[in-house]
Amino acid sequence: MLSKTMEQALNEQINAEFYSSYMYLSMSTWFNSIGLPGAAKWMLTQTQEELFHGMKIFRQVNERGGRVTLKAISQPPVVWKSTLHVFQEALAHEQKVTGLINDLVNLALEEKDHASNIFLQWFVSEQVEEEANVGAVLDKLKLIGKDTTALFTLDAELGQRIFTPPPVQVN
């Protein structure tokens, strides 16, 4: 059984993951609007990943006898200065989410909630990957600079990304 404190904290994380999904969807449509369909696809894939994250916590709360309370999702930004700016914002966002996950782990440890601690370890590892994925694109964008041809090449590469749900589903 989840404590009320942990239940509330996990509910807030569900909202944060759904916000992430919404934010990446906004980034995706912005890329479509400026003619970079590959980057739009990359962001759409990220949208699916974030929905998966949110639903993974959703299922966990239910499985532990808690109550999911869905709250309003904040409006994400709708416009960015450049492709580089989008990925800079994405990295800053992922760093913030890593902090939220770490806070959840700290709470689980404080409460001696071993089940939540084990559950959250997946997210700890996932955040390392999330930051690395965004960081890798950001590094390439910095190298590309104002080279439009190189940007189109990168866009084609980004368009190859697909969402593959992890093989182990909670329920």
Applying CB under 6 A, the residues found at the interface with ligand FEO are 17, 20, 50, 53, 94, 97, 130
- Name which of 131 and 157 has its Cβ closer to ligand FEO: 131
- Name which of 130 and 155 has its Cβ closer to ligand FEO: 130
CB of residue 20 vs ligand FEO: minimum separation in angstroms? 5
Q: Which amino acid is at 43?
A: M
Q: How far is it, in rounded angstroms, from Cα 89 to Cα 59?
A: 29
Q: How far is it, in rounded angstroms, from Cα 10 to Cα 154?
A: 36
For the chain, first and last CA: distance in Å?
17
- Name which of 14 and 107 has its Cβ closer to ligand FEO: 14
CB of residue 149 vs ligand FEO: minimum separation in angstroms? 30
Contact 138, 39 (CB under 8 A): no
CB of residue 165 vs ligand FEO: minimum separation in angstroms? 14
Contact 161, 42 (CB under 8 A): yes
CB of residue 94 vs ligand FEO: minimum separation in angstroms? 5
- Name which of 46 and 83 has its Cβ closer to ligand FEO: 46
CB of residue 132 vs ligand FEO: minimum separation in angstroms? 11
Distances (CA, A) of 117 to 30, 65, 88, 89, 158: 37, 16, 30, 29, 34
Q: How far is it, in rounded angstroms, from Cα 119 to Cα 139?
A: 31
- Name which of 1 and 168 has its Cβ closer to ligand FEO: 168
Q: How many CA atoms lie within 13 A of 99 on its CB side?
A: 6
Q: How far is it, in rounded angstroms, from Cα 70 to Cα 12?
A: 9
